[in-house]
Amino acid sequence: MKSLFEVKPVDREFYEKRLRDWLPEKIIDVHTHVWLARHQLAYRRQMFRVQTWPARVAAESPIEELLETYRLIFPGKDVTPLIFGSALSLEDDLDDGNKYVSDCAAAHHLPALIWSAPEWSGAELERKIQGGGFLGAKTYLSFAPSYLAEAEIRIFDYFPHHQLKVLNRHGWVMMLHIPRNDRLRDPVNLAQMLEIEERYPDIKLIIAHVGRAYCPEDIGEAFKVLAKTKKMCFDISANTNAEAFRQLLETVGPKRVLFGSDLPILRMRTRRICESGKYINLVPKGMYGDVSADSHMREVNEQEAARLTFFMYEELDAFRRAAHAVRLNADDVKDVFYNNARRILANKL
């Protein structure tokens, strides 16, 4: 049987020397996508408010491939994912995608979130979450009304208040991918993040990707504002910004930080750099098709490509460096990679 992807000596060396002993034996990954190609017809037809490069890594992400990825990337570790779908438009088959996630969660005894749409009433969201055995909701900024310019989208345009009231009443999880060009440092984002925590204190709020602070320029004064928060959590998914991780840990402490991956894209072979505040994924030539039109992708020569490992390992190593900088101990690391998520998802683990 052909392996899902190749694990090279450079990968094994990276894992064994930098990560294996530092990571706890049990890990919970709070940010993973599972879907089948049939669920993303609109997404594949046109990209609207969506980065194109993740689609080059995987056309679909069946649950079997997700679990196999953990076996290949984390030898010797026991990893449990929190799963949700990957829909980017109401034209996609949202109901079938959510049913697939629900079925996978039941079959493999995994926690899951529904992929919601802002058009749903509060009662409809409640019924769908309870009917599918979900623990809360995740959605994406592309579900905001089409008449809004992408740079003007606000959180409440795709996570409306009537739905947040339902999530709050039940104490459910809200996985939030924030919008807007300035990412974490955007004052509108920060104000609305604080508003959610204040108005809906029982929502288990998780800010995905450390607020998309992928480069140092994305941070601004955000952590001075976020120092006021008391409950919201942050996952580190698809992020390799050690400076953002350091400031996050210094601001909120290790008990409000969660490991997330954003699989399947974290099995990508890449190293991320920043140039003038813009992230660029360095990739082997030809591995991900013609990337010449994508400003977030850049091919490297054969010698440099031979040194590239998985995006997953690059994320973990960046967080390891930040953890060392703020002097986290082994118990703190276990909190980030297991205990914090177990507390949030306790009734499903």
304 pLDDT above the threshold of 70: yes
Protein fold of 9-267+311-348: TIM Barrel (3.20.20)
Question: 232-257, pLDDT tens digit by residue?
Answer: 999 999 999 999 999 999 999 999 99
Question: 291-303, pLDDT tens digit by residue?
Answer: 998 999 999 999 9
CA–CA distance, 56 with 42 (Å, rounded to integer) = 16
Q: What is the mean pLDDT of the chain?
A: 95
Question: 136-149, pLDDT tens digit by residue?
Answer: 999 999 999 989 99
Question: 181-198, pLDDT tens digit by residue?
Answer: 999 999 999 999 999 999
51-65, 75-89, 160-174, 250-264: which has the minimum mean pLDDT? 51-65
Q: Where are the domains of the chain?
A: 9-267+311-348
Neighbours of 326 (CB within 10 A): 15
**Residue for token pair 């013609």:** 290
2 pLDDT above the threshold of 90: no
CA–CA distance, 38 with 177 (Å, rounded to integer) = 24
Position 54 scores a pLDDT of 86
- How would residue 45 be classed by pLDDT, with cut points 50, 70 and 90? very low
Please tell me the pTM assigned to this model: 0.96
Return the CA Rg of the chain.
19
Report the pLDDT averaged over residues 46-50.
55
269 pLDDT above the threshold of 90: yes
Output the CA–CA distances (angstroms, integers) from residue 14 to 112, 200, 227, in the order listed: 31, 42, 34
Position 89 scores a pLDDT of 76
278-284/297-300 β-pairing: parallel
53 pLDDT above the threshold of 90: no
